[in-house]
Chains A and B, each alone.
Chain A
Amino acid sequence: MPTSVRIPVQLRTLTGGQEVITGTGGSVLEIIEDIDRQYPGLKDRICESEGKVRRFVNIFLNEEDIRFLENLQTAVTEKDELSIIPAIAGG
């Protein structure tokens, strides 16, 4: 069973409006690559060209910021949930 990934409003145009999608892989990076195969363009919106996470985007594994874990190399299991949380303005 693949891992669930929560997609923010900003990126839902790429997922046909879906808020939760699934990806397969053993690390955060592998999952991002897998969801990018299913919904082309997602990786580019999440990662810079050198493969780092964009500086105004955060990825949380369950409730933890992956930057304080092993970043994109953080191991992921099927029980985990990834959330992509970009900064928002407005107010």
Chain B
Amino acid sequence: MSDLPPRYSRQVLFAEIGTAGQKRLLGSRVVIVGCGALGTVQAEALTRAGIGRLRLIDRDFIEESNLQRQTLFTEEDVREGLPKAVAARRRLQAINASVAVEDRVEDLNYRNAESLVEGADCILDGTDNFEARFLLNDLSQKRRIPWIYGAAVGSQGLTMTIVPGRTPCLRCVFESPPPPGTTPTCDTAGVLAPAVNLVASLQVAEALKILSGRLERINRSLVSLDVWQNTWRRLEIQSGLAGGDCPACHLGRYDFLEGERESSTAILCGRDSVQINQPSGQPLDFPQLGHRLELLGSVSYNRFLLRFRLKEFEIAVFPDGRGIVKGTRDPQEARSLYSRYIGN
């Protein structure tokens, strides 16, 4: 049939991909932002499909409550206390060693966003919050990189494919994020694996079209689905493409890349946790910090993160100073715990 590895034969037989499409896939570069339920499903499917390079960006580490839906992770990963991006990379390399997978244990923000997506042919949304999604939208418009929005909560999902110049963008449809605390999150409403898997699978199908050169096949609607209420709707948004006044795609204003909207704390979806963004000038010294904190509570660390448990709280810190405070959803309480035990 061709000189392509047999592992891709069923995909090559699919006429609209074929040998030419598979070759394009093998040379493609993908960035997945967020390695939770959406991101793990996307990463596994694209790794099996045979993309060229995959960069996985995630700021969090694995916990037992992730295992219900985050398909790449195991109980052993929980015991090891691994960052999600690291555990996912290990698993993906065992699935398909010919894909170059890179893990980045980082919080995507306006400072690092442009360099993190440099050279990508497509960005997949596997994030769990509005801030990151509006940032991705600006990034996509500014750098002319397609991105695929997807979100799920409870039994509902929403997805939309954004190709700069060809489709409306996220801000054409949702001009700005809702105020924090006004919409359900996985924390408050839970989330069903089939809802996220369905959204992630639709995102992967869109990515395969884009990466294999079949842009004419992309889905141009906003898809809204609910696996429990049995609804599946395609909502028309195309008329937003021309003549609108969208700040991002018509006016070229990238508000979320300016950084003014960024807060230094973020409540993490499904985690009863708050992230503290506190870049330290130099890498944290885990042995030294661990030694100091041992006197106050229980401490464990590996080379990726240090965890400190004290009563109902747990503080996890990464070498770059970023922290995740568990046991609270109150940013101020989290910030004060962080300052007290890790430092200012």
On A, residues with C-beta under 8 Å from B are: 8-10, 19, 54-56, 58, 60, 63-65, 67-68, 83, 85-91
Q: Is the pair B127, A91 in contact by a Cβ cutoff of 8 Å?
A: yes
Bound state CA distance, A54 and B189, in angstroms?
22
* A87 engages B239 (CB within 8 Å): no
Q: B158: CB under 8 A from chain A?
A: yes
Say how far B206's CB is from chain A's closest CB, in angstroms. Answer: 15
Cβ contacts under 8 Å, A60 to chain B: 235
Which of B46-54, B169-177, B319-327 contacts the other chain? B169-177
Bits for B266-285, please: 1 = Cβ < 8 Å to A, else 0: 00011000000000000000
Q: Is the CB of A65 within 8 A of B173?
A: yes
Q: List 13 A-B contacts (CB under 8 A).
A: A10-B183, A58-B174, A58-B222, A63-B233, A65-B236, A68-B240, A87-B174, A89-B129, A89-B153, A90-B128, A91-B39, A91-B127, A91-B150
The smallest C-beta distance from A7 to any residue of chain B, in angstroms, reads 11
| A90 CB to nearest B CB, Å | 4
Comparing B9-17, B30-38, B82-90, B106-114, the segment that makes contact with chain A is B30-38
Most chain B beta carbons < 10 A, residue from A10, A56, A87: A87
C-alpha spacing A55/B134, complex, angstroms: 13
Contact status of A88 and B173, CB under 8 A, knowing A10-B184, A67-B240: no
- Determine whether the beta carbon of A87 is less than 8 Å from that of B178: yes
Q: Does B186 contact A (CB under 8 A)?
A: yes
A87 neighbours in B (Cβ, 8 Å): 130, 151, 158, 173-174, 177-178, 183
Q: Kindly provide the distance from the CB of A46 to the nearest chain B CB, expressed in whole angstroms.
A: 12
Per the bound structure, the CA–CA distance linking A91 and B181 in Å amounts to 16
Binding site for A on B (CB under 8 A): 34, 36-39, 125-130, 133, 150-154, 156-158, 173-178, 182-186, 189, 191, 196, 199, 221-222, 224, 229, 233-237, 239-240, 269-270
Contacts A56-B175, A65-B173 given; indicate if A90 touches B186 (C-beta within 8 A): yes
- Chain B CB within 10 A, most for which of A55, A64, A88: A88
Inter-chain contact B177/A56, CB cutoff 8 Å: yes
What B residues does A85 contact at CB under 8 A? 158, 222, 224, 235
Q: Kindly provide the distance from the CB of B124 to the nearest chain A CB, expressed in whole angstroms.
A: 11
Note all chain A residues with C-beta closer than 8 A to B175: 55-56
What separation, in Å, do the CA atoms of A50 and B189 have in the docked complex? 30
The reply to whether A88 and B239 form a contact with Cβ atoms under 8 Å apart is no
Residue of A nearest to B38 (CB): A91
CB distance from A74 to the nearest CB of B (A): 13
Query: Closest CB-CB distance, B123 to chain A, in whole Å?
Result: 14
CB neighbours of B154 from chain A (8 A): 9
